[in-house]
Amino acid sequence: MPSRLPIQDICAGLLTSVGTAIRYWFHYTLVAFAWLGVVPLTACRIYKCLFTGSVSSLLTLPLDMLSTENLLADCLQGCFVVTCTLCAFISLVWLREQIVHGGAPQWLEQHQPPPPNQARQANEPQGAAEDPPAAQPAPAEPPAQNEAEPEPPDAPPDQGEDPDLEEEGAAAEDADPNNGAQDDMNWNALEWDRAAEELTWERMLGLDGSLVFLEHVFWVVSLNTLFILVFAFCPYHIGHFSVVGLGFEEYVQASHFEGLITTIVGYILLAITLILCHGLAALVRFQRSRRLLGVCYIVVKVSLLVVVEIGVFPLICGWWLDICSLEMFDATLKDREMSFKSAPGTTMFLHWLVGMVYVFYFASFILLLREVLRPGVLWFLRNLNDPDFNPVQEMIHLPIYRHLRRFILSVVVFGSIVLLMLWLPIKLIKVMLPNFLPYNVMLYSDAPVSELSLELLLLQVVLPALLEQGHTRQWLKGLVRAWTVSAGYLLDLHSYLLGEQEDNETNQPVNNNNNPPHGQPNNNNNPPPAVGEGLHAAHQAILQQGGPVGFQPYHRPVRFPFRIVLLIAFMCITLLVASLVCLTLPVFTGRWLMSFWMGNSKIHELYTAACGLYVCWLSIRGATVLLAWMPQGRTVIMRKVQEWTMMILKTVVVALLVAGVIPLLLGLLFELVIVAPLRVPLDQTPLFYPWQDWALGVLHAKIIAAITLMGPQWWLKTVIEQVYANGIRNIDLHFIIRKLAAPVISVLLLSLCVPYVIAAGVVPAVGVAPEMEILMQRRIYPFLLMVVSLVGILSFQIRQFKRLYEHIKNDKYLVGQRLVNYERKSGRAPSAPPSNPVPE
């Protein structure tokens, strides 16, 4: 080969690479245009066409598809529509799997007689071949009239689904003596499996370079149209005609959510219609129609129950929390009404979010209680850790009145807890501490410290420490256990609360009947229905820690109901006192500490509460550490104090460098390079706020550290990983200063000082005009950033060209590659067995 490639070879290689790049660019542009343009835009235009309510919109639909008005807004709205339709499709498939594997409700199967030969086969092994109705398969869930108790968790598995499968097989054999239908079904299953193996995400989306994705685009557009028509258009118009006919149109329009409420009304009427038609089909013995109508009713029923439990219930909790806390913020219902009218969507979302958080933490606390209390104490609450608990199966099998009763009980329980732990403490605080409330939640722009800085400090420093689940959860669990032990010995309910294994009097009689108070039956196999089960579908997997399950016997003392009432009263008083402490102590501590820093300026209570919580957390953490050291003796304590003192001093030094100097320099550099050139004109002097620059620098430093850890291996990533691996207990001050702090601070100082020396020292010495001098001082930082970026891009392109050069050379002149043995000791030339050249 020549020592250098000819120009024509380089040009040919460049043209080939450019052609390949252009071909890929056109293909991926087509893919992006199809999935991000055609699909969402088509869904949005069809959606608008169906809901305009005029025939002319259907006639002009082809022209509307080609319209270029509001392209971006329609594409975004279409993406939301496509997401909803895909979620609906996935939910339908998943619900079908739940019905197939969990079994259909009894009312859906009870009118379907089994074939005689299958009934005889099912009855013969059991020795009961009296008549065909006895072979009726047992339902997967108990019948509605016997559903006061859920199915026992340790009961033998129900065989209802397996007689179902045999009946289907027998029916298929009777329908086709030659088993043609069965063969077709098996063939279709094999074809579907083969198609599923061949269909990957790259092939489906078109990222493999083929044009097969165009067919998938067509099917997605068709699926969107079908789902919009079936699941949105029809229920909406059914509800609309019903609302107009009943004269409720004005009330629905006043809610600001006319479309949503109208659609839900349509679904409710559709469910009523389906169940009536199902009963009529059962009466006239139309088995296929009856089953189809029943399955459609189950789909609508489960959808409505999901909306109620995940949407309506948290929304009710959020609004009730807001109403009960109005006096805490010096607000009125009129203020909430005005905010709702000004932004109804945002207001409802915020209240739903608050309610969701409340229900989440309530469910988490219940799971923590189960780890402390005796199994069986919380018999009235469903155990979310129960492997047999399936909320979707309950939605399928349980009747509507059961779900309605649970919903009402959940609202009562959650609402009563809000009254006890929020409304009543606020009233007591206003009486005992008249000047403490209301909380200040207004933002003041004239504060000496920026609100943005405090928010960043709160998010980056305070909340990560407060949300440390390990210690906080253990402390809360310890407090709950201490309270339980105290209440148990005061009221002689230790055996009832904690069980016989922790009671010294193990020989006392136990309650063999396993009856809870108030005469409610309670066995290990039959826990009664849950009371506080709002959002059980969404929280069935919250904090899946192991805990005691089942039921344990306990000693039942005299006057047991009266002691239970005293226990409930004691619990209510404890919750009230705990709520008073949580509402006052952190805010009072934070206000006192902030007064040394901010003076008499008013500040948002979010920051005072966070500051107080942080100080309380540090105090409790230190107290627990000291209590853990006390049994080890004075010598060990002094040695531990010395070790922790040195560790704290090292941590302070590292914090000053890594969390103080580096973020300050980084924030100041960001201010000079990006913020000041964009915000401050040349005829004005920029003002710098070190505190705000430091807060922004903390955020930037965390982002840079996260990107570095996710990127390729280089010296900064190696150092950061080593620092993380050592932790605070094994902190290496010398390593951090020499390998991390000194290099980073040096680079940042050079980035700040070199441009300043050039602009303020070199440029005036040259003798330029004052305007040019000001321009250089203000624009030298972004100019140098641009120069560094161009140099980086240029070096990257040079490396890419070298790789392309080698690739062209190898493609044209490389014949093959051979692996040879390297014999170091012998003076002979390296030899290799004969082999065919392997091309690269």
pLDDT of residue 452: 53
Does residue 377 belong to any structural domain of this protein? yes
Q: Is 625 found in the same domain as 773?
A: no
CA-CA distance, 370 to 376, in Å (whole number)?
9
Q: Is 678 found in the same domain as 748?
A: yes
Q: Is 409 found in the same domain as 432?
A: yes
Domain stop point among 438, 470, 486: 438
Q: What average pLDDT does range 813-838 have in this prediction? A: 63
Q: What average pLDDT does range 45-65 have in this prediction? A: 81
To the nearest whole number, what is the mean pLDDT of the chain?
Answer: 79
Which residue from 554, 770, 783, 775 is spatially nearest to 682, judged by alpha carbons? 775
Does residue 582 belong to any structural domain of this protein? yes
Q: How many domains does the structure of the chain reveal?
A: 4
Q: How many of the other CB atoms lie within 10 Å of CB of 732?
A: 14
Band the pLDDT of 62: cuts 50, 70, 90. confident
Instruction: Return the bridge partners of 838, or none.
Output: 817
pLDDT of residue 110: 66
Q: Is 569 found in the same domain as 457?
A: yes
Sign of the alpha-carbon dihedral angle for 321, 327, 333, 336? negative
Tokens of 116: 């005689």
Which residue from 516, 274, 248, 543 is spatially nearest to 376, judged by alpha carbons? 516
Does residue 643 belong to any structural domain of this protein? no
* CA dist 539 → 149, 371, 478, 629 (Å): 22, 17, 24, 39
**Is the pLDDT reported for residue 97 higher than 50?**
yes
pTM score, two decimals? 0.71
Does residue 165 belong to any structural domain of this protein? no
Q: Is 364 found in the same domain as 488?
A: no
Check if the beta carbon of residue 479 is closer than 8 Å to that of residue 371: no
Q: Is 308 found in the same domain as 391?
A: yes
Residue range of the domain that includes 384: 300-438
Tokens of 101: 């594997």
Q: Is 44 found in the same domain as 77?
A: yes
The per-residue pLDDT for range 385-415, each reduced to its tens digit, is 777 788 888 899 999 999 999 999 999 999 9
Band the pLDDT of 840: cuts 50, 70, 90. very low
Check if the beta carbon of residue 442 is closer than 8 Å to that of residue 604: yes
Does residue 43 belong to any structural domain of this protein? yes
Q: What average pLDDT does range 325-351 have in this prediction? A: 92
Q: Is 601 found in the same domain as 664?
A: no
**Is the pLDDT reported for residue 532 higher than 80?**
no
Does residue 808 belong to any structural domain of this protein? yes
Which residue from 736, 738, 722, 730 is spatially nearest to 643, judged by alpha carbons? 730
Q: Is 690 found in the same domain as 586?
A: no
Q: Is 216 found in the same domain as 99?
A: yes
Lowest mean pLDDT among 257-266, 355-364, 633-642: 633-642
Band the pLDDT of 80: cuts 50, 70, 90. very high
CA-CA distance, 647 to 728, in Å (whole number)?
7
pLDDT of residue 445: 45
Q: Is 482 found in the same domain as 463?
A: yes
Q: Is 684 left (phi over 0), alpha (psi -120 to 50) or beta?
A: beta
CB < 8 Å & 24+ apart, contacts of 463-471: 463/610, 465/614, 465/617, 466/610, 466/613, 466/614, 466/617, 471/621, 471/624
Check if the beta carbon of residue 437 is closer than 8 Å to that of residue 426: yes
CA-CA distance, 69 to 41, in Å (whole number)?
11
Tokens of 46: 């069809």
Q: Is 206 left (phi over 0), alpha (psi -120 to 50) or beta?
A: left
The per-residue pLDDT for range 163-204, each reduced to its tens digit, is 743 343 444 344 444 444 444 444 455 555 555 556 677 888
Q: Is 705 found in the same domain as 588?
A: no
Tokens of 572: 């209510």
Does residue 519 belong to any structural domain of this protein? no
The per-residue pLDDT for range 641-669, each reduced to its tens digit, is 888 889 889 999 998 999 899 999 999 99
Does residue 189 belong to any structural domain of this protein? no
